Every structure is written in structure tokens, then in C-alpha cells.
Amino acid sequence: MAGTLRDDITHLAAIDRLPCSTGEREAAGWIAERLREAGARVEVDEELVHGGFYTPLGLLAGLGGRPARPWAPQPPSRCTWT
């Protein structure tokens, strides 16, 4: 394996690797090839995925922080300021 760890990181950092993107696929292929050069047996799996992973996650996280019944009275805070 020619090169250094710094070279590898520099190469991978230059690839825009958003989830489910061509950049992610390119990086996976590049890493697989480097491992093959080192003698490893490598397979890169292809899976059907939802490319907008963060949108539903963010919506669910936002809903989790809201009261179930916004009109219901909220318990008083336990903090006392002196």
C-alpha cells in the first residue's frame, strides 16, 4: 500500500459524501480498492435507502420535545432562584 494515512484522509476528505450520494459510493469503492491492494477480500453492499434520512429524524426529534397536549397545564419548575 503506497502512500500515507495523511494522503488517504486528504483524498477521502475531498469527496462530498452525503448519505446515499454518488460521493459516498465513490469513497466506499476507493476504500475497498485500497483494502484489496493490501490483500483483503472486500465486498461493498448496495442497499435501497432513503436519501433524506435527517428530515424525518429531525421532525420526530422536534415532536418529541413538544408536550403531548400543548393546552394542558405544565408542572411547575423544580428550580428555585435565590
Q: Which pLDDT value is given to residue 46?
A: 84
Averaged pLDDT for residues 6-10? 92
Q: Is residue 45 part of a domain?
A: yes
Give pTM, 2 decimals: 0.57
Measured CA to CA, the distance from residue 26 to residue 23 in angstroms comes to 5
Averaged pLDDT for residues 23-50? 91
Q: What is the domain extent for residue 16?
A: 5-54
Q: Is residue 37 part of a domain?
A: yes
Q: Which residue has the higher pLDDT, 70 or 12?
A: 12
pLDDT grade, residue 70 (50/70/90)?
low
Backbone φ and ψ for 44, nearest 5 degrees, come out as: -105, 115
Q: Is residue 27 part of a domain?
A: yes
Q: Kindly state the greatest CA–CA separation across the chain.
A: 67
| Residue 37, SS3 per DSSP | helix
Q: Which three cell numbers stand for residue 57?
A: 429524524
The tally of domains found in the chain comes to: 1
pLDDT grade, residue 66 (50/70/90)?
low
Q: Is residue 66 part of a domain?
A: no
Q: Is residue 76 part of a domain?
A: no
Q: With b meaning 16 or more CB within 10 Å and e meaning fewer, what string describes 57-81? A: eeeeeeeeeeeeeeeeeeeeeeeee
